Structure 1
Amino acid sequence: MSALLKQAVAHWRYVAPLLTPPQNEADYDALVEALDELLDEVAGIENHPLSALASQMGDLIAAYDAHHYAIPEAPGHEVLRYLMSEHNLTQSDLPEIGAQSVVSEILNGKRQLNVRHIRALAERFKVPADVFF
Structure 2
Amino acid sequence: MNALIEQAAQHWQFVSPLLRKPENEADYDQLVEALDELTDRIGDDESHPLMSLVDIIGDWVEAYDLEHRPMPKVSGVDVLRSVMQEHGLNQSDLPGVGTQSVVSEILSGKRQLNVRQIRWLADHFKVPVEMFI
TM range (shorter): 0.7 to 0.9
Change (3 A) 1:126 1:14: farther
User: Which shows bigger deviation, 73-82 or 31-40?
Assistant: 73-82
- State the AA in 2 paired with 1:38: L
Distance in 2 separating the partners of 1:114 and 1:6? 61
> Highest relative contact order (Cα 8 Å, sep 6+), 1 or 2?
1
Residue of structure 2 in register with 1:28 after alignment = 28
CA RMSD of superposed structures (Å): 2.0
Q: In structure 1, the residue corresponding to 2:113 is in which secondary structure?
A: coil
Residue of structure 1 in register with 2:118 after alignment = 118
Q: In structure 2, the residue corresponding to 1:112 is in which secondary structure?
A: coil
- State the AA in 1 paired with 2:48: H
Change (3 A) 1:8 1:120: farther
Which string of whole-angstrom CA distances, capped at 9 and with x for unpartnered residues, describes residues 15-40 of structure 1? 22222121222222221121111111
The TM-score with structure 2 as length reference comes to: 0.84
Distance in 1 separating the partners of 2:125 and 2:118? 10
1:125 CA displacement? 4.0
Structure 2: unaligned runs, 5 residues or longer: none
The TM-score with structure 1 as length reference comes to: 0.84
**Aligned-pair identity (%):** 59
Which string of whole-angstrom CA distances, capped at 9 and with x for unpartnered residues, describes residues 43-101 of structure 1? 11111111111111111111111111111222211222233234433222323322211
Q: How many residues align?
A: 133
Residue of structure 2 in register with 1:15 after alignment = 15
Distance in 1 separating the partners of 2:48 and 2:3? 23
